[in-house]
Amino acid sequence: MSKVTVVGAGKYGSTTVQRIAEWDIVDEVVMTDIVEGLPQGLALDMNQSRPVLGYRTIVTGTNDYADTAGSDVVVITAGLPRKPGMSRMDLLGVNAGIVKSVVQEIVKFSPDAVIIVVTNPLDQMTTLAADVSGFPRNRVLGQAGMLDSARFAHFISEAADHDVLDVTAVTLGSHGETMVPVPSLCKVGDTPLLEALGNDKVAELVDRTRKGGAEIVAYLKTGSAYYAPSAAAASMVKAIIENAGAEMPVCAWMEGQYDIDGVYLGVIARLGANGVEAVEEVELTDDEVAGLREAAVAVKEKVADLEDLDL
């Protein structure tokens, strides 16, 4: 009996639930929110799509954490999304309070769960969730790299006029400003990215990827992106549930890889039943490793801001 909980039934949370349910990879997905009726209504609606799409996973909508008990994986999407002009940092105070209270409830009812954090600002929220939970750090991870890599792949595919499924794109580091593109691992078909598109074009696409979330926020005016983000979060859940050694870029706890220690950072990790089974120290150029180390310093500085909050 496998069970996944998604906390937050907003755009990101509900779309993540929908994707996991439609893949039919778990018995139950529990969706919870503080708004009464919202998760229940969405769950009922989703469940009625089962005969049409042909899957069995049941979605339970609830406002009661008791219903989340015994979850294998918990995805935390609860929080406020960025508004136009709002930086991730602006979100820190309000979302830190939400994430702390959510994690306290999760730990009570699912002491063995793997926690995936998607609430922004991602690095701080993942660190906070790990601290509050007291879980081993391999069982708390964040979603960022899958999304940034997917955005980068989409932009490369368009610029190169090449099948998106034949593009390899990898970003590491942090989310947003300190994202570290990894051209040495990026390819258009079999051609190295820099060779295919040239330095200037790649720099332009890197910049667009860095600002990928803001570009969508500016269009939407209210709310932020959720289709690609939920695809990324759901694929991490799938990797953990399937426990088949899938590797992907995630925000994981560093313990000396690339000489980086004691910080959550976007790296390639092997996921499985224990969350992060291993951080893969893939071969990078000197510049890319330097970028990763810079990102680690920036994240450590940002995480220090958490100490100034009265939580």
User: Cis omega (within 30 of 0) on the bond before 121?
Assistant: yes
Member of 34, 159, 231, 298 binding ligand APR (CB under 6 A): 34
Of 3, 19, 139, 175, catalytic: 175
Which residues have a Cβ under 8 Å from the Cβ of 209 and sit 6 or more positions away? 148, 151, 152, 155, 171, 179, 181
Return the number of the residue (83 or 270) whose C-beta is nearest ligand APR: 83
Member of 226, 253, 258, 264 binding ligand APR (CB under 6 A): 226
Member of 229, 272, 275, 291 binding ligand APR (CB under 6 A): 229
> Segment 71-90, which members bind ligand APR (CB under 6 A)?
77-79, 81-82
> Segment 249-288, which members bind ligand APR (CB under 6 A)?
none
CB of 11 to ligand APR, least distance (A): 4
CB of 248 to ligand APR, least distance (A): 18
Return the number of the residue (26 or 75) whose C-beta is nearest ligand APR: 75
> Do residues 243 and 273 make contact, with C-beta atoms less than 8 angstroms apart?
yes
CB of 33 to ligand APR, least distance (A): 4
Tally of residues, the chain = 311
Return the number of the residue (70 or 223) whose C-beta is nearest ligand APR: 223
Q: Which stretch binds ligand APR (CB under 6 A): 20-28, 94-102, 252-260, 286-294?
A: 94-102
> Segment 193-222, which members bind ligand APR (CB under 6 A)?
none
By CB under 6 A, tell whether 297 contacts ligand APR: no
Return the number of the residue (176 or 183) whose C-beta is nearest ligand APR: 176
By CB under 6 A, tell whether 95 contacts ligand APR: yes
Rounded-to-integer distance, Cα 253 and Cα 75, Å: 17
For residue 184, what are its two tokens? Answer: 């040495």
Q: Could you confirm whether 162 is annotated as catalytic? A: no
CB of 278 to ligand APR, least distance (A): 27
By CB under 6 A, tell whether 93 contacts ligand APR: no
Member of 26, 59, 74, 118 binding ligand APR (CB under 6 A): 118
By CB under 6 A, tell whether 8 contacts ligand APR: yes
CB of 14 to ligand APR, least distance (A): 8
CB of 188 to ligand APR, least distance (A): 29
By CB under 6 A, tell whether 4 contacts ligand APR: no
Please give the full DSSP string across the chain, using - where no structure is assigned: --EEEEE--SHHHHHHHHHHHHHT-SSEEEEE-SSTTHHHHHHHHHHTTHHHHT---EEEEES-GGGGTT-SEEEE--SPPPPTT--TGGGHHHHHHHHHHHHHHHHHH-TTPEEEE-PSSHHHHHHHHHHHH---GGGEEE--HHHHHHHHHHHHHHHHT--GGGEE--EEESSGGGEEE-GGG-EETTEEHHHHH-HHHHHHHHHHHHTHHHHHHHHHSSS---HHHHHHHHHHHHHHHHTS--EEEEEEEEESGGG-EEEEEEEEEEEETTEEEEE------HHHHHHHHHHHHHHHHHHHGGGGS--
Residue type, 230: S
Active site residues: 175
**Residues within the interface to ligand APR (CB under 6 A):** 7-13, 33-35, 77-79, 81-82, 95, 98, 101-102, 118-120, 223-224, 226, 229
